Structure 1
Amino acid sequence: MGIKEFEMSALSDQHHILGAAPFSNLKPPSEEKAIYVDQTANKAAPHETSITFVYQAKVSEFLRNVTVTWCKNLVNHSLSITVENPSDENQYTCKVDIRAWQFWGRKGLKSFELDGKLVGIFWDFRQAKFSTTPDPCSDYYVAMVSGEEVVLLLGDLKKEAYERTRSRPSLEYATLLYKKEHVYGKRSFCTRAMLADGDKEHYIFIETSLPGPGPRDPEMWISIDSTVLIRVMNLNWRFRGNETAMVNNLPVQILWDVHDWLHGKPGSGRPGLFIFKTGAPECVSDDDHGQCSRENEGGRRSYDSASAQGCPSTPEFCHFLYAWRTDQ
């Protein structure tokens, strides 16, 4: 199964993958305290980092997918917003250059027509603060206005956005469907994700012991909010897997596919894929032979390729993390 097929299986709620090894309380080598560390590799690496959010919002009286993509490399730093138009193959894309030295472009407005109705996009990045990721962490707003309503609002300067647009909040809030992110590192990768409880972001840390010295089998650890939830031993054989863990007493499915880290062709440069999906899988079986999940030590459930067939989960938010190793 390739990366694309693995991603599509998560979106279609079909999982045909191997379960992880039983849970162990052992910590990864550099994660004794499991403290979140910024993705410092992004500062020096010449790669382009990108984060894509896909929302569903009511624009021009219809629910449409709105794709928001933040990109940053050594030269460019930009925001792109695309609004789909199901009644037409064409779609509208608004691109904003938010490089620090282009101060005059860090506040602006663009408008377009969609199904004969005016849609406006307002933004203000003049005071925006950034960390190591391409999207701002505070002091900014991006607002999409349709029919005198703010149908999509990003950032923390909400009051300023409503004052500038002179529009009221929409009665139908935009829904975040999924997020895609590309990160770079050698043995460890970091991200933030909204998983189980609304607007609160959770810190995710992934660490591996590869490439490691000696004959020791490679391992992998996945932590959320300073707690190691999954340890995968013998990663050479368990390079794909799926477990459901509890985050603040709510279930989160964690899937991984790191086949190309271990068995890819030299120089292929393909990423590992991690998917964090809210909600627990629902078991649907046509026969009476047991259940399609098994409980591991620690009270979590894992799903294997034989029993996961016919066990779709409810459509919930997905976070796709593409982890690129810089030492391959």
Structure 2
Amino acid sequence: MRDFPSCFGESGVQIADSSSSSSTHKSAHNLVTCLYQAPRRGGCWCLITITWSKSLMGQGLGVSVDECSNNRSLGRLDIKPWLFSKKKGSKGLEFDGSRMDVFWDLSSARFGSSPEPLEGFYVAILFDLEMVLLLGDMSKEAYCKTGTSVAPRSDALFVAKKEHLFGKKVYCTKAQFRDNGKAHDIAIEFETVGLDNPCLEIRIDKKRVMQVKRLVWKFRGNHTILVDGVPVEVFWDIHDWLFDPAAAKAVFMFQTSLSGDDKLSPWSCSQAFGGAQHLSFSLVLIAWKNE
């Protein structure tokens, strides 16, 4: 079996890392991290990390920017959790003679179980007064607030997402594997049929796309499925579910390549951002077992 590809680079975690104790369970589960490739003037590329969080104090939003050529951090903005304020606003940050502005409006946002909003919001990111990334379904309001009149650059791409899921046997989320593609329902089910025959099943839009039996011997592996006619490689590591119940987590990654080249790591910046768009998209799911 091939090793898990790395995701979230030096500023995040390795997909195969299963050493974290269950103490991370409480602190990390209310985080969703999304990464985007975005252009800068002068032919440079950067990675924008959007972190959605949730606590007893309310929702939170973090935005950080890293230069892709050398993984250098350019800056970070944090919008702290709010209950009755800061649901809309703007913040600016200057770096390397450039300016980044973040505008957001989550005053009407609708949330599900995840810290990431479902609809009724926008987050707009501008470099030197040029919009490079727009999230949410309120684009008209975003253009009006930021004073921009053109659509975001078409070469801004969704690169990776990491999300924590919770359940006893079934773990569900939604994912969009291609820009402007359909959002799919993903369900991961772990079933124990007798003490010696645990089974892993993954469904996309309620249709079973893969099943793994004899997990005692196949607790790590990978398998290729088709989603929207595109090959998506699924990696899994459920070692802790079987052999370390105290850790209570498993790790899954769904990886697709926009170029059809599944050998390219999503974090090979020198290859991916050197001009040709050979980016892969990775969805990392940390599944925590609630007893």
Same fold (TM over 0.5): yes
Q: Which residue of 2 is the match for residue 177 of structure 1?
A: 159
Q: Which residue of 2 is the match for residue 273 of structure 1?
A: 251
Alpha-carbon contact 1:49-1:183 (below 8 Å) kept: no
Q: Which residue of 2 is the match for residue 112 of structure 1?
A: 93
2:71 and 2:202 map into 1 onto residues whose CA distance is 42
User: Does 1 or 2 have the higher relative contact order (CA < 8 Å, sep 6+)?
Assistant: 1
Q: Which residue of 2 is the match for residue 30 of structure 1?
A: none
Q: Tell me by how many angstroms 1:199 deviates.
A: 3.5
Q: Tell me by how many angstroms 1:257 deviates.
A: 1.0
2:77 maps to which of 94, 111, 131: 94
Question: Does 1:253 find its partner at 2:236?
Answer: no
Q: Tell me by how many angstroms 1:10 deviates.
A: 11
What is the one-letter code of the residue matched to 2:4?
Answer: F
Task: Give me the identity figure in percent.
Answer: 34
2:209 maps to which of 229, 254, 257: 229
Specify every segment of 5 or more residues in structure 1 that has no aligned partner in the other structure, as ranges: 12-44, 284-313
Pair 1:124–1:146, CA change in 2 (3 A): same
Q: Paired residues, what number?
A: 256
Q: Tell me by how many angstroms 1:136 deviates.
A: 0.6
Q: Which has the larger radius of gyration?
A: 1
Question: Does 1:326 find its partner at 2:290?
Answer: yes
> Tell me, what secondary structure is at the counterpart of 2:145?
helix
Alpha-carbon contact 1:46-1:74 (below 8 Å) kept: no
Matches within 5 A, 1:17-166: 48-59=29-40, 61=42, 62-85=44-67, 89-99=72-82, 101-102=83-84, 104-166=85-147
2:58 and 2:152 map into 1 onto residues whose CA distance is 33
Q: Tell me by how many angstroms 1:243 deviates.
A: 1.3
Alpha-carbon contact 1:98-1:125 (below 8 Å) kept: no
1:6 maps to which of 4, 13, 19: 4
2:140 and 2:112 map into 1 onto residues whose CA distance is 23
Alpha-carbon deviations, 1:92-117, whole Å to 9, x = none? 11111353x32x31110101112112
Q: Tell me by how many angstroms 1:76 deviates.
A: 4.2
RMSD, aligned α-carbons: 2.8
Matches within 5 A, 1:299-318: 315-318=279-282
2:164 and 2:6 map into 1 onto residues whose CA distance is 17
Structure ranking higher in strand proportion: 2
Specify every segment of 5 or more residues in structure 2 that has no aligned partner in the other structure, as ranges: 10-25, 264-277
> Tell me, what secondary structure is at the counterpart of 2:180?
coil
> Tell me, what secondary structure is at the counterpart of 1:105?
coil
Q: Which residue of 2 is the match for residue 298 of structure 1?
A: none
What is the one-letter code of the residue matched to 1:135?
Answer: E
2:204 and 2:226 map into 1 onto residues whose CA distance is 10
Pair 1:87–1:6, CA change in 2 (3 A): closer
> Tell me, what secondary structure is at the counterpart of 2:198?
coil
1:262 and 1:231 map into 2 onto residues whose CA distance is 17
1:66 and 1:196 map into 2 onto residues whose CA distance is 18
> Tell me, what secondary structure is at the counterpart of 1:84?
strand
Alpha-carbon contact 2:7-2:282 (below 8 Å) kept: no
1:203 maps to which of 185, 197, 203: 185
Q: Which residue of 1 is the match for residue 200 of structure 2?
A: 220
What is the one-letter code of the residue matched to 2:138?
Answer: L
Pair 1:255–1:137, CA change in 2 (3 A): same
Pair 1:222–1:54, CA change in 2 (3 A): same
Question: Does 1:190 find its partner at 2:154?
Answer: no
Q: Tell me by how many angstroms 1:46 deviates.
A: 8.7
Pair 1:262–1:93, CA change in 2 (3 A): same
